[in-house]
Chains A and B, each alone.
Chain A
Amino acid sequence: MPMEPYNQNGLPRFAELLISRLCKAELQEEILGNLEEAYHAHGRKIRLWRECLLYLRPSCLKSINSSIHHPMFIFNPLLTIRNLRKQGMNTIINIAGFTIGLLCVFFLYFYVSSELKYDTFHKDYHEIYRVLRTAEMNGSPFKIGVTSGPYARALETDFEGKIYTCRASLETSLVKYKDKQFFEEHILFADPDFFTFFSFPLASGDPKDVLSQANNVVFSKALAKKYFGDEDPIGQIIETEGEQFIVTGIMDEIPAKSHLEFNMVLSFAFLDKYEWMSNWWNNGLTTYAKFSSPQDRAYVESQLQWFMEKYMGDDFDQTKSRMGLTLEPLSETYFASDVRYDLARHGDLKSVYILAMVAVAILFIACFNYVNMSVALSFKRAKEVGVRKIMGGRKGRLILQFLGESLMVILTAIVLAGLLSQLFLPIFNGLFGLEVTYDWSDPNILLFMCALVGLVVLSSGVYPAVLLSSFKPLRVMKGEMVKGTKGVLIRKGLVVAQFVIAIFLMAVTFLVTIQISYMKNKELGFNQESIVTIDLNNGDIREQTDTFKERLLSHPAIESVAAVSGEPGGFHDGATIQFKGIDEQLKIRTLFTDYDFLETLNIQLLAGRNFDRSFGADMNGSVLLNRKALEELGMSAEEALGKTVNMPLWDEYDRKIVGIVEDYHFQSLKNPIEPLCIILGGRARKIVVAMQAGNLNQGIEHMNNTWEELIDGFPMHYTFLDESLSRLYENEQKQHRVFTSFSIISLFLATLGIFGLVTYSAQRRQKEFGIRKVLGASVSEILSLISKEFTFLIIVAFMVSIPLAWLFVTNWLQAFSYRIVLQDYWYVFAASGIVSLVVALLTIGFRSLSVALSNPSESIRCE
């Protein structure tokens, strides 16, 4: 660095720069001199800097208005506002575009951050794991969320000091307090160390011993309010499951969300006294594990197979299939949607990603609009830039000025979006079926906004700013290169990109709609209309199932009733069956039911006979198989009928195959049909009622009355089968709504962009059109002249977006075993292209018609 001659003993370079840049020119010599002389005398850096900075006061600083060259060239807010106002319509379009984009992004931000925060409030959440079993069903491995009672104790004994466990089990039950009673759906049974193992906060009670006694219960705040009102809940006695419990603690609000959804915790000691709790195969609860170090975890993980063999090796030998054990980090639990039989609340990571991508795409469209518009308008400002440069405005200053305009636009949009977002929150929540709340106090949101502003200003401001400031003043003043031809390619590229996104989203929306309606209308192989399922959620009603059935049937509105272990779309346990005389075993789904099942759901019998009351032997063991089971075994119906099977793990009963039923979709259409064994008898969990289509209300009333006659004070819980079936596709329907609304928004924004561009293009070519008209061009010819270039762009966008949409939808459809064939729907792609084209052309026509219609003499006249 070359030193100035008088700078030998050195004022620091930066100090000199600071003073010479910021202080009044006439004071600089004196100030610098004083600083240097003082520095020379005392030689202390800190003191020098203090003096230097203290010189930066209003009496010494340059005034903002009288900067280096001329007021015109510094970043000047007033000038910015004036410029923006001059561009009126375009500014509004820009701000509107950004505002809409930001509204989506804000909503998305809070949604995604709340999803990703699940379960992270626990003190050592990265050391907590969920214990899952792994198994295989006819070739495909899967995980199982539930384990049985003995796992926890056995793990702690076998790996003493390395692992700590906690068990939790979700139940539903009726809870009574004095004369109040409610049916509670989120009751958690948990080991005594639950509140120290996890960090669920307690408003009152000691985490160490709130659950130490078998008759202790902890309430959530809201639940305590519901039962006890304003009374002190601690020490109150409630009754459930036929026993009395004493309230020993109250939970506080959970700081974030949890995959465990509960509002009442009972001590696990209550369950421990049951004999089935010590059965290794009675799986129904979740086991959690905590490790003191990653090494311990690695060690335990390596021993898990040994552990399983130790306790269940004999059982595995018997069933000839083995199960494994695996650990799932708590931080992944919420998104682990591939786990079967899971009590936890789950989110869909894919949905989160899709939502995030779509909102980013929207923001991009808004940015592109802005870039496009600024570049298109740059020719208008070429003269302005020329004049500024001639007056001495440097390139850097001009870039600053243009970036300032971008900043102003984006800041306005942020403020608007911030204000409007509260207004739109319920609309978005309703639209997407979410429960997002805005928490503006989150410190990250500020950071996020700053990053957003920086990103948007850079991405949409830099190109126009650099382009504008690079005009050569001399040529501009001479009137050359005012054609606005600069950046035409980029501009076109951006329009194409916008329409790629819009067409992509539209095509995806159409196809998702088609897939969903396909699933809704697909023949499932059973009757789902006018079918109601009633939960047998209470011991009394289970004992009286037969009486209940009989009384229900006495009403004319009720046609048929069957007790089942799981309704279609519901729970069908997996088992292994062994065929007598064949060595082969088959993994199979099971359904326990009674004589009336096939009739109630109208399931077709292919061969053999249905269960029949007149065959006394049926009760001792008869089964029906579905066609898929035969296919897996490679048997014909004739071969299979009359054979006996048994289920090695459950009992040694021989059961006879009496009939074959047609395959029906007893699971969601996302899964292929699996082999199914329908078994007479067993424990019923639900009752399926077929009713006369016209008499639903009477039927339900009769059901309620009958229930009340049999059970006192326990509410009946029923659902319509078609509703519970469509709930299987809730996620897909949410995604569908997301695509629908965002494809509309993106098309709107892209159209907004075209609107602006056409406005500019029509104005610029007004004179040209005038001359063309004078020479005999018709209005429609002029319209087609304007629309031609945009039509071409949209066709290019169409070509690009179709393969993308095709890939995406193919991928999305992978999740469904039963899906539409994309080739059959080629016209959907064409349709989305045509829709965009029509919308764009309408916009163009609307905008340029006035220009095309105007009297040529007016446009040519003025010079």
Chain B
Amino acid sequence: MKGTNLGEFEELLLLIVLILEDQAYVLKIQEEISNQVQRDTSMGALHASLTRLEEKGFLTSEMTGATAERGGRRKRIYQLSSDGKIVLNQVRTQRESLWQQAPKFSLDAYGTI
């Protein structure tokens, strides 16, 4: 089923990578997730998901930017591929269309939180 549907966590990852631009490597992604949505993840788990997204063709990666803190090692910077952008857009359109069809009172009744 590769390349078709986007999981919830995958969607989140793509968005974070988009936000982080050229700083999108595992450590920063982990930090961002923790700050933005208060989720605790491990680098290992992130690595697995990121690799899967790469295999699906939504991400590309590149080894660059060695720093002293890393002991002179390079980091893997992720970027959204065009497929990734397309799929993210698709998800967004779908969601928005769904939101518009939802009756207003349901939100009033249960609140947004």
A residues with CB within 8 A of B = 5-9, 11, 27, 29-38, 40-41, 50-51, 54-57, 59-60
Contacts of B25 in A (CB 8 A): 34
Among A8, A30, A60, the residue within 8 A (CB) of B73 is A30
Task: Give how many A-B residue pairs fall within 8 Å (CB-CB).
Answer: 74
Contacts of B92 in A (CB 8 A): none
Q: C-beta contact mask, B86-109 vs A, less than 8 Å → 1, else 0?
A: 000000000000000000000000
B111 within 8 Å of A (CB atoms): no
Within the complex, the shortest CB–CB distance from A671 to chain B, in Å, comes to 78
- Given known contacts A54-B44, A55-B44, A7 and B71 CB-to-CB distance under 8 angstroms: yes
Does the CB pair B47–A60 fall under 8 Å? yes
Contacts of B63 in A (CB 8 A): 29-30
Within the complex, the shortest CB–CB distance from A48 to chain B, in Å, comes to 11
Q: Can you list 7 contacts pairing A with B, beta carbon distance less than 8 Å?
A: A29-B74, A31-B43, A33-B73, A41-B69, A51-B42, A54-B43, A57-B45
Contacts of B80 in A (CB 8 A): none
Q: Which residue in chain A gives the minimum CB-CB distance to B44? A: A54
Contacts of A29 in B (CB 8 A): 63, 73-74
Does the CB pair A36–B48 fall under 8 Å? no
Contacts of A30 in B (CB 8 A): 26, 63, 73-76
Does the CB pair A59–B43 fall under 8 Å? no
Contacts of A8 in B (CB 8 A): 71
Q: C-beta contact mask, B5-48 vs A, less than 8 Å → 1, else 0?
A: 00000000000000000000111000000000000001111011
B112 within 8 Å of A (CB atoms): no
Does the CB pair A51–B43 fall under 8 Å? yes
Does the CB pair B43–A33 fall under 8 Å? no
Contacts of A27 in B (CB 8 A): 47
Does the CB pair B69–A59 fall under 8 Å? no
- A544 to B73, alpha carbons, bound, how many Å? 108
Does the CB pair B73–A6 fall under 8 Å? yes
B82 within 8 Å of A (CB atoms): no
Contacts of B66 in A (CB 8 A): 33
- A27 to B75, alpha carbons, bound, how many Å? 10
Does the CB pair A60–B44 fall under 8 Å? yes
Q: Which residue in chain A gives the minimum CB-CB distance to B52? A: A59
Does the CB pair A34–B45 fall under 8 Å? no
Does the CB pair A54–B42 fall under 8 Å? yes
B81 within 8 Å of A (CB atoms): no
- A8 to B69, alpha carbons, bound, how many Å? 10
Contacts of B48 in A (CB 8 A): 57, 59-60
Does the CB pair B69–A57 fall under 8 Å? no
Within the complex, the shortest CB–CB distance from A319 to chain B, in Å, comes to 88
Does the CB pair A59–B47 fall under 8 Å? yes
- A11 to B72, alpha carbons, bound, how many Å? 13
- A36 to B66, alpha carbons, bound, how many Å? 12
Q: Which residue in chain B gives the minimum CB-CB distance to A6? A: B71
B70 within 8 Å of A (CB atoms): yes
Does the CB pair A38–B43 fall under 8 Å? yes
Add 9 more A-B contacts to A36-B70, A55-B43 (CB < 8 A).
A9-B71, A27-B47, A30-B73, A30-B75, A31-B43, A33-B73, A33-B75, A34-B70, A59-B48
Q: Which residue in chain B gives the minimum CB-CB distance to A36? A: B71
Does the CB pair B69–A40 fall under 8 Å? yes
Contacts of A37 in B (CB 8 A): 27, 67, 69-70, 75
Does the CB pair B72–A6 fall under 8 Å? yes
Q: Which residue in chain B gives the minimum CB-CB distance to A26? A: B63
- A51 to B27, alpha carbons, bound, how many Å? 11
Within the complex, the shortest CB–CB distance from B56 to chain A, in Å, comes to 14
Within the complex, the shortest CB–CB distance from B11 to chain A, in Å, comes to 20
Does the CB pair B27–A38 fall under 8 Å? yes
- A784 to B27, alpha carbons, bound, how many Å? 78
Contacts of A51 in B (CB 8 A): 42-44
Contacts of B42 in A (CB 8 A): 50-51, 54-55
- A29 to B67, alpha carbons, bound, how many Å? 12
- A9 to B48, alpha carbons, bound, how many Å? 27
Contacts of A41 in B (CB 8 A): 27, 69
- A229 to B66, alpha carbons, bound, how many Å? 87
Within the complex, the shortest CB–CB distance from B52 to chain A, in Å, comes to 8
Q: Which residue in chain B gives the minimum CB-CB distance to A53? A: B44
- A409 to B69, alpha carbons, bound, how many Å? 51
- A31 to B45, alpha carbons, bound, how many Å? 12
In this complex, the member of A6, A34, A36 whose beta carbon has the largest number of chain B beta carbons within 10 angstroms is A34
Q: Which residue in chain B gives the minimum CB-CB distance to A51? A: B43
Within the complex, the shortest CB–CB distance from B41 to chain A, in Å, comes to 9
- A5 to B68, alpha carbons, bound, how many Å? 11
Does the CB pair B44–A36 fall under 8 Å? no
Shortest beta-carbon contacts, A-B, top 3: A33-B73, A54-B44, A6-B71
Within the complex, the shortest CB–CB distance from A841 to chain B, in Å, comes to 66
Q: Which residue in chain A gives the minimum CB-CB distance to B42? A: A54
Within the complex, the shortest CB–CB distance from A425 to chain B, in Å, comes to 51
- A59 to B52, alpha carbons, bound, how many Å? 9
- A5 to B74, alpha carbons, bound, how many Å? 15
- A30 to B50, alpha carbons, bound, how many Å? 13
Within the complex, the shortest CB–CB distance from A60 to chain B, in Å, comes to 6
Does the CB pair A34–B75 fall under 8 Å? yes
Does the CB pair A54–B74 fall under 8 Å? no
